[in-house]
Amino acid sequence: MEYTNLGKTREKVSRIGLGAWQFSEAWGVTEYMQAKSVVSKAVELGINFFDTAMVYGLGLSEDLLGRALRELGVRRDEVFVTTKIPGDFLNPLDVYRSVEKSVEVLGLGYIDGLLAHWPPCWHNVPTRVYARALERLVDLGRVRYLGLSNFPIELVESFRSSLSKHDVEIFQVRYNLAERWADEEVVPYAERHGITIQAWSPLAKGALTGKYTLESLPKFTDVRAREAVFHPENFDGVWRLVQLLKSIGERYGRTPAQVALNWLITASPVVVPIPGAKAPEQVVELANSVGWRLSYSDWRALDELSRRVAISYSAYYLDYKPQQV
């Protein structure tokens, strides 16, 4: 396994992490033993960077992940777990209450990385108010490092300027070969300020693995039922990417998923993909996406093709046929 430093700290985190949203009804892994087998394989292969969130199964994901790490006997200081507090909980009362609950549910004594999951769009809590509350949690030892997920840079700046002693060490954003908005602002900002980016949906929710085809796109019953990358209008471009991932992968003896993840880590030294896995076999494949690098020309070929893939997020809405015209 390859490792890198987290943000500006000396914390050693694996160059590929593991997302745990899969441990919830949204993705279907709700049995403890199944979740444990996934975490166990990750630990065995040297993955020490795990991500969960309060809203994943409303506690179930934190519960299954924390319990698995405890039962596997992993040394506390050899694992780094991020969890996320939703934008709806960012008033100071809910910050303290929910973080206390999260510490209890995870059962790991403290939180390594706490990220605001998204900005508080419903309650208009001023940035400086929740920034100060989150910083206090670091002072009080409940949380070790702070991060922001799905925040525009304007708000990141405002958040950072509200902190007095600590800084943002982690970003979490959607970043995959088919959806590269993070390239515009977030990646250069993170590189400049020494912030680790946890790339979420790095496989475009499985679309880049090559196992779903336009002809046999499943009717997803999980969280992907209305996922933009799987809309036929968008999947065409995704499929062209998959073909190139396949042909490049064949030369390296790698799968499309491994090439897609390697493209991300080759793109930037601060990017750490956090793919989700539902089975140990998937973890093995994901873990082997690091420890090697794509050549410059292969990286560029994917870069160029992916720039021509445009994902429309309004596609499902545009399908709607008004009852009366």
Ligand X SMILES: NC(=O)c1ccc[n+]([C@@H]2O[C@H](COP(=O)([O-])OP(=O)(O)OC[C@H]3O[C@@H](n4cnc5c(N)ncnc54)[C@H](OP(=O)(O)O)[C@@H]3O)[C@@H](O)[C@H]2O)c1
Q: Which residues are catalytic?
A: 56
Rounded least distance, CB 278 to ligand X, Å: 5
Position among 6, 143, 244, 257 found at the interface with ligand X (CB under 6 A): 257
Check residue 20 for interaction with ligand X (CB under 6 A): yes
Rounded least distance, CB 217 to ligand X, Å: 12
Nearer to ligand X, 131 or 147 (CB): 147
Residues 152 to 191 in contact with ligand X, rule: CB under 6 A: 172
Determine how many CB atoms are found less than 10 A away from the CB of residue 4: 18
Nearer to ligand X, 22 or 262 (CB): 22
Tell me the C-alpha distance between 196 and 168, whole Å.
Answer: 9
| Residue 193-212 contact track with ligand X, rule CB under 6 A, x = bound | -------xxxxxxx--x-x-
Position among 51, 62, 179, 298 found at the interface with ligand X (CB under 6 A): 51
Cβ partners under 8 Å of residue 48, min gap 6: 3, 12, 13, 14, 78, 79, 80
- The count of residues interacting with ligand X (CB under 6 A) is 28
Check residue 80 for interaction with ligand X (CB under 6 A): no
Cβ partners under 8 Å of residue 246, min gap 6: 210, 256
Tell me the C-alpha distance between 92 and 141, whole Å.
Answer: 17
What is the amino acid identity at position 103?
V
By beta carbon distance, the residue nearest ligand X is: 19
Check residue 150 for interaction with ligand X (CB under 6 A): yes
Position among 106, 169, 275, 311 found at the interface with ligand X (CB under 6 A): 275
Position among 148, 286, 302, 309 found at the interface with ligand X (CB under 6 A): 286
Structure tokens of 179?
A: 């959806």
Check residue 145 for interaction with ligand X (CB under 6 A): no
Nearer to ligand X, 164 or 260 (CB): 260
Determine how many CB atoms are found less than 10 A away from the CB of residue 41: 20
Determine how many CB atoms are found less than 10 A away from the CB of residue 202: 30
Three-point CA angle 305, 309, 311, nearest 5°? 160
Dihedral over alpha carbons 176, 178, 184, 187 (to 10 degrees): 10
From 65-73, 139-147, 182-190, 271-279, give the range in contact with ligand X by CB under 6 A. 271-279
Check residue 48 for interaction with ligand X (CB under 6 A): no
Nearest CA-CA partner of 49 in 1, 83, 14, 85: 14
Position among 83, 149, 262, 288 found at the interface with ligand X (CB under 6 A): 149
Rounded least distance, CB 169 to ligand X, Å: 16
From 33-41, 159-167, 274-282, 298-306, give the range in contact with ligand X by CB under 6 A. 274-282
Structure tokens of 161?
A: 């300027």
DSSP state string for 161-182: HH-SS--EEEEEEE-BTTB-GG
Contacts to ligand X by CB under 6 A: 19-22, 27, 51, 117, 149-150, 172, 200-206, 209, 211, 257, 274-278, 282, 285-286
